[in-house]
Amino acid sequence: MKPTDMLTEENFELFVKLNYNNPSCISIDEFNDDIKRIKYIKRLFLKYETERQLKDNLIKNHILILTNVFGVETATRILFFKIEKRYHGFLKTFFLDLGILPKSIPEVDLELIQPDVRIERLLKKNAK
């Protein structure tokens, strides 16, 4: 699989396994725990969407761990592929806040995704 190939459900597992780089990982369980972070981020976005509770530090931690074990571009590709389009603005806002948004990825046109203004405000407020 070439790094520029578009992610699909068929090649996703191979992509994450080929790009996983965690020297301290000693079991498949640790790998699976890292992959579960995608699901946790989805849940945290849903909680924000439904209850207006933003656990921004937890979301940032999950994103940063994924970028540490996959690299920034690969983690970005994985998250934008696996997380529903309605949350792409949320996701972009966090990547911008962390200062790690790549210029482009094959899966989506990052230029067309608008950051979420409410989350931007909350992140700025919580940074103080």
For residue 73, CA distances in Å to 47, 60, 121 come to: 26, 16, 25
What is residue 23's predicted lDDT score, i.e. its pLDDT? Answer: 87
Any idea what DSSP says for residue 24?
T
Q: Where do we find the tokens 């046109």?
A: 109
What is residue 112's predicted lDDT score, i.e. its pLDDT? Answer: 97
End-to-end CA distance of the chain: 44
Supply the angle between the helices 88-98 and 117-127 in degrees, to the nearest 10: 30
| pLDDT tens digit sequence for 42-68 | 999 999 999 999 999 999 999 999 999
User: Is residue 80 scored above 90 in pLDDT?
Assistant: yes
User: How far is Cα 21 from Cα 38, in angstroms, rounded to an integer?
Assistant: 17
- Residue 4's pLDDT band, with cuts at 50, 70 and 90, is low
- Residue 1's pLDDT band, with cuts at 50, 70 and 90, is low
- In this prediction the pTM is 0.94
User: Is residue 7 scored above 80 in pLDDT?
Assistant: yes
What is residue 83's predicted lDDT score, i.e. its pLDDT? Answer: 98
What's the chain's average pLDDT?
Answer: 95
